[in-house]
Structure 1
Amino acid sequence: MSKEKTSPQRRNPALRVGAGLLAHWQVVASGVLLAGGVTGLAATYEDYCGMTDLTYAPAEVRDAIEDAAAESGFRPGVIAAQLETESHWRTGVSSHAGAQGLAQFTPETWEIWGRGGDIVDPHDSIEAQGRYLAYLKDRLQPYAENEQELMQVTLAGYNAGPGAVEEFKGVPPYGETQNYVKKISELSTTKYKTTCDPDPRFSYEELSYPIRPDN
């Protein structure tokens, strides 16, 4: 009896798989290109659709807000929401406690975080805001179990002082502080959310400067 010859592919499964892939190389290549194309389109859309959380923030301080966000570790929309809550974008506003400027620093706190800047200068104020938030975030991290809670206790520390957060091991039960944290959280997820389609309910903000009498 004659022996039937066995092809190399039948003797070696690896060769058989390789031969199959070569035979269908066009299908495989098309799949790879298609997957790459979809990923590329998604990246392109995010890069060029205009996605931002600062659509409604005053244009002249957007760069400063971006820098403060990088310094603090919170996204720009949170920084903008806090500024609106603190001062409503009024550079010359003062609180009953003597806090001043966009980010509302008391003179005592400004001595530490202002680094020689002008407390009513919007850019100096936002820079100090970023530095102070970074400090609070690091100090109060033990009182948060996730990123959302960390944002809340940090904002509470900004409003009521870090000692109050440490005393109550979380957002203190002060009505002003709880409303403060709630308002910033809501603004950061509505007016200052990250999106390509800003909500038309909101209006564009502008900085308000104090009226100075002519010399």
Structure 2
Amino acid sequence: MIKILLLCGLSVFSVYSWAQSSKPHFVAKPSNKSVLGSSVKSSSSKPALTAPSQVYHYQNADGVVVFSDRPPETGHYQVRIYDCYACKPNSNINWQSIPLYTQQYKDHIRLAARTYQLETALIRAVIHAESSFKASAISKTGAQGLMQLMPATARELGVTDAFKPSENIQAGSRYLAQLLQRFDGDITLACAAYNAGASRVEQYQGVPPFAETKAYVERVNILLQRYRKT
């Protein structure tokens, strides 16, 4: 029998819900375009329960599966991100100075850029915003790998292993290129669709008025401008 140990206040229900969720998860990016509408605020007066921004998943020496906000001192583990890395509206990260990942997966990114006629800087900005370059990242909605592909989307794109950097980057870049074509080359709208869904972008005729999407779009744009200079 496999035992599960939950640390840092994570409930069995929250882990089960996270594992079972099929909500699409994609990213967004900003530019000079205005954002339509205002952020939607919850009408609930109850304080929202918060989970760690990322959770470490591993098996301890006794064979117990552990979910914790701290990595193990030794051994292998997976990083499970509970929120889109660049989507948290009240993030205290300085996106103008946060270190960039300029060398990681260079060959894979260059190949994807050539294949789908994308800027390497844009691919890096999206990967940075999605997973902070963690190939084993899993979101609370089940999105996987560097470019946070949902399992259904990964299958549609022919991915057999979403945690394999070469496959993930190729598939994520292909999807991003499709969104750029759909939105006439508008990077802002394509990235907003990557985060919130293309139908939402079309519904609002611009970046959807969701706080997380707007934050994501702004931060991807900052990262894009910075990666273009490297």
TM bracket, shorter-chain basis = 0.5 to 0.7
Deviation of 1:140 (Å)? 2.0
Contact 1:69 1:130 in 2 (8 A): yes
Deviation of 1:178 (Å)? 1.0
**In structure 2, distance between residues paired with 1:71 and 1:179:** 29
**In structure 2, distance between residues paired with 1:189 and 1:172:** 22
Contact 1:160 1:177 in 2 (8 A): yes
Please tell me the residue identity of whatever aligns with 2:182: R
**In structure 2, distance between residues paired with 1:161 and 1:153:** 10
More helix by share: 1
Q: TM-score, normalised by structure 1?
A: 0.57
Segments of 5+ residues of structure 2 without an aligned counterpart are 1-98
Which protein, 1 or 2, shows the higher relative CO under an 8 Å CA cutoff with sep ≥ 6? Answer: 2
Map 1:63-82 → 2, pairs under 5 A: 63-82=107-126
Indicate the SS of the match to 1:155. helix
Q: TM-score, normalised by structure 2?
A: 0.54
Indicate the SS of the match to 2:213. helix
Please tell me the residue identity of whatever aligns with 2:216: Y
Partner of 2:170: 127
Contact 1:72 1:134 in 2 (8 A): yes
**In structure 1, distance between residues paired with 2:147 and 2:218:** 17
Indicate the SS of the match to 2:109. helix
Partner of 1:33: none
Deviation of 1:58 (Å)? 5.6
Contact 1:68 1:129 in 2 (8 A): no
Segments of 5+ residues of structure 1 without an aligned counterpart are 1-54, 142-146, 196-215
Report how many residues are paired.
132
- 1:88-134 alpha-carbon deviations (Å, 9 max, x no partner): 11111111111010000111111112x14311111110000111011
Please tell me the residue identity of whatever aligns with 1:81: A
Highest Rg: 1 or 2? 1
Matched residues, percent identical?
Answer: 34
